[in-house]
Amino acid sequence: MSETVQTAVVGVRGYAGAELARLLLRHPRLHDQPPVFAGRVDDEGAAHGGVPLVEIHPHLGGSNGTGNLRLEPFSWELLAERGVEVLFQATPHEISREVIPIALARWLRVIDLSGAWRLGDAVNRAVYCFEDEGTQTAVATQAQAVYGLPELHRAEIAGARLVANPGCYATSVILAVKPLVQAGLVDLEHGIVADSKSGVSGAGKAPTARTHFMHAADNLSAYGVFAHRHTGELLEQIGVTGGQIVFTPHLLPISRGILSTIYLRFKETQTRESVARVYREFYAGSPMVRLYEKGLPQIQHSVRTNYADIGFELDASGRRAVVVSCLDNLLKGAAGQAVQNLNLMMGWGESEGLG
């Protein structure tokens, strides 16, 4: 276990990058080791040694010296000079596909927040249309990737060189459904329906016609039906086929937060206690999952935390269930989960810096 570690963040300009910077700057293990922030900087910014971080994200300024930090022009030489050991990559997947093999060759450990390396099955990866698919470098890099959902892969994450941080929607659905499927309770022939809704920040910082205020406000819309990129994560991590689950995402007119409502049928009659026992046993020792013994989770109770909240109700027959899962898409669905993975990789307490 290391007492501290030098980190770097590439992609700090985005929503997830901003949250990642905030968490790392306040992490109790990293008080004297602020991250190196690197990325694209224009000529004027480069001439001044980079862009002040507080110009990009004013809320990150503070009395602990953070006002002096800068986004510096990215170079491998910069990371080497600063002694970086762990690289957080918060960039689009196309950039991660290019950068991460080089980072691994330079013996950096990497936590990637994009979808570049999440999927082990080439059929599932096809949705991304990766240009380097099947190349020797891509195959070798994918072989090193560990899916970064601590509640499922805690031991593998601890020793990983490349952690592929899960998607936000995928995290909400997998955590809700995996314990029940693994316990053999779910009647997969009847299928699982996952109806998920996310705040607009889940679409990223770059504006689009769909995320523009005039479209998103006072509206609720479905998208990515039968084609969303997170679907492959559900199949691989829950252990179901495409014919056994339907996942439909929706855009909520709120800034952040996810609520997934999942409908499923049990093979045999269950009681509330029998289902709760499965969840309790599965998540024993998982500090970032909160099981609702009564009532159902709401976005307002999980937003701006790193908790995944799970609750459920059974019908009178005990054969059908509705499971509700809530989390913050920028924290447990992105930056907070990345820091949770860092803690595991460093041998620190899993929830350090996330309270």
* Inter-axis angle of helices 150-158 and 335-346, nearest 10: 40
For strand 7-10 and strand 36-39, is the pairing parallel, antiparallel, or unpaired?
parallel
Running DSSP on this structure, what letter comes out for residue 200?
G
Residue tagged active-site, from 168, 192, 308, 354: 168
Of 264, 290, 287, 266, give the one whose Cα is nearest residue 279: 290
Using CA atoms, how far apart are residues 85 and 108, in angstroms rounded to an integer?
5
DSSP strands (E only) in the chain: 7-10, 36-39, 51-52, 70-73, 86-89, 109-112, 145-147, 162-164, 192-198, 221-222, 245-251, 258-265, 289-291, 308-314, 320-327
Using CA atoms, how far apart are residues 100 and 144, in angstroms rounded to an integer?
11
Cα separations in angstroms, 148 against 15, 117, 118, 344:
19, 10, 8, 10
Of 302, 326, 305, give the one whose Cα is nearest residue 173: 326
Q: Catalytic residue at 326?
A: no
Using CA atoms, how far apart are residues 283 and 277, in angstroms rounded to an integer?
10
Using CA atoms, how far apart are residues 188 and 165, in angstroms rounded to an integer?
27
93 phi/psi in degrees, rounded to 5: -60, -30
Cα separations in angstroms, 151 against 148, 281, 285:
9, 12, 9
Using CA atoms, how far apart are residues 118 and 353, in angstroms rounded to an integer?
25
Residues recognised as catalytic = 168
